[in-house]
Amino acid sequence: MSRQPYSDDLDSRAELCREIIRSAGALTLKGFHGEARQNVSMKGPQDFLTEVDAASEAYIRHALAAHFPGDSFFGEEGGGAISDRVWVVDPIDGTANFARGIPHFCISIAFVQNGATEIAAIYNPALDELYFARRGAGATRNGVPIRVAQTARFDAASLEMGWSMRVPNTAYLGVMEALLGMGANVRRAGSGALALAYVADGRSDGYIELHMNSWDCLAGLLLVSEAGGVVCPYLEIGSLDAGGPALAVAPGLASDTSRASNIPLAAYAMPTDRQTAPARAARGPADWRIGG
């Protein structure tokens, strides 16, 4: 990685972020093709850890600190501190896939300044796909601009839904029943960060998770917003340290998906959802929110 000095501004941080995430991706991909991914431990139910997770996070933490020592760092594996300028990092999202040899995993990095996500990067090294966004500057995949899907019918929609031990299974089943009742295809591929990137890229029509950690979703939510999608006000209904519900969706499906999941939308120009009468009549389950 380059040892060049960087100015203390967002442009330099964005440039460094691109460089670091690709370098960390090379390290991760080497582990994926070697024996390191087979050394798996469990942090909790369905919560996997490999030695590559720790190595990737340590590399990213050190590389950022070397150039911007005044920025704080908050990572999935080692935690950290949260300040007005903080890097929020998941060194491998989709560790269960990674450990099983499935090339659907990624590194996720977001830079948050004064409560707003300014820089987002999600990189799948197995496919060499780098998603990148700056607030107010659009979103790209490998440098090419991307846009969310134009899907406006649930019977033509593919949505993805994540899962967390923090929310009762009955809540997930209730949301899924509402989505299926409107005609949507609901799937789960095992990486919430990549799922959000795929919404931004028009490969998927929406992503819902009733509790999601900030390192999993901050980058992806900015990507979707910059690609023309609709997202929840994550840092208003959740927090960097405790997490919260996450929703990102194509505009034509936004209002009904919000009702089905009981996750509010950030302010945006509300389109007219072109749904059937039964779809409009569908309503989400009772309030599932933690502490609600």
pLDDT tens per residue, range 57-91: 999 999 999 999 999 999 987 778 899 999 999 99
Higher pLDDT, 268 or 61: 61
Question: Given the structure tokens 């999600």, which residue do they identify?
Answer: 122
Handedness of CA 24, 148, 137, 210 (dihedral sign): negative
Triad 165, 188, 117: Cα angle to 5°: 75
Per-residue pLDDT at 224 exceeds 90: yes
Higher pLDDT, 166 or 62: 62
Of 15-29, 65-79, 166-180, 258-272, the one with minimum mean pLDDT is 258-272
Backbone angles phi and psi of 191, in degrees to 5: -145, 105
Whole-model pTM: value is 0.88
Which one-letter amino acid corresponds to residue 30? Answer: K
Q: Write down the pLDDT at residue 112.
A: 98
Q: Are 146 and 139 in contact (CB under 8 A)?
A: yes
Hey, what are 267's tokens? 């302010």
3-state helix, strand, coil in the chain (%, to 5): 35, 25, 35
Q: Write down the pLDDT at residue 81.
A: 85
Q: What is the pLDDT of residues 181-190, one digit of tens each?
A: 999 999 999 9
Confidence of residue 276 (pLDDT cuts 50, 70, 90): very low
Residue 183 Ramachandran class (φ > 0 left, ψ -120 to 50 alpha, else beta): left
Q: Write down the pLDDT at residue 280.
A: 32
* Calpha distance 200→172 (Å, rounded): 23
Per-residue pLDDT at 39 exceeds 70: no
Q: Write down the pLDDT at residue 272.
A: 43
Strands 206-212, 158-161: pairing kind: parallel
The helix/strand/coil state of 71 is coil
* Calpha distance 246→211 (Å, rounded): 7
Contacts of 170 (CB under 8 A, 6+ apart): none
User: How many CA atoms lie less than 13 Å away from 144 in the CB half-sphere?
Assistant: 4
